[in-house]
Amino acid sequence: MFIYLNANPSDIHTGDCVIRAIMVLEDQTWTTTMLELTAYSYFMHRIIDNNYVWQTYLKDKGYRRIELPDTCPDCYTLRDFCVMHPYGKYLACTGSHVVAVIDGDYYDTWDSGDETILYYFRKGKITMR
């Protein structure tokens, strides 16, 4: 379920979770993702990890935001989310962290499986069952 991944060219483990998560989902390099987000940041006059910047970037790439219950016992940990989503690509978001989830596995520099997920992004049209 947890897969260690740190694609940061300088082997930095903090501060770039948005870049790392998006690069995994979009199958891009860390540098390409950083440059694209930097362009959004520049034109929006906000810092690169500002939620508005990276969420606009995702929406422009066809992702949709889906809210989850934020109070327990109805809340979901990242581990719970992965069990419930064994297929597909998602960007899972806590209040302060972003993680790529692909086919029930989450990619991070640390085991963030106990973090509570508040919302997530999925590419493409969302259909309700």
Lookup: tokens for 93: 């978001």
State the Cα–Cα distance between residues 89 and 24, nearest whole angstrom: 9
Q: Above 70 in pLDDT, residue 129?
A: no
The reported pLDDT for the residue numbered 95 is 87
The reported pLDDT for the residue numbered 125 is 67
Residue among 81, 82, 100, 94 at smallest CA distance from 51: 94
Taking residues 54-65, what's their average pLDDT? 97
pLDDT confidence bin for 70, thresholds 50/70/90:
confident
The pTM score is 0.91
120 secondary structure, DSSP code: E
**What are the φ/ψ torsions at residue 119 (nearest 5 degrees)?**
-160, 165
Q: Where are the chain's structural domains?
A: 15-123
Return the beta strands (E) in the chain as ranges.
2-4, 63-67, 76-77, 89-93, 98-102, 105-108, 116-117, 119-123
Give me the sheet containing 98-102, strands edge to edge: 2-4, 105-108, 98-102, 89-93, 119-123, 63-67
Query: What's the pLDDT tens digit per position in 9-57?
Result: 999 888 899 999 999 999 999 999 999 999 999 999 999 999 999 999 9
Q: Above 80 in pLDDT, residue 80?
A: yes
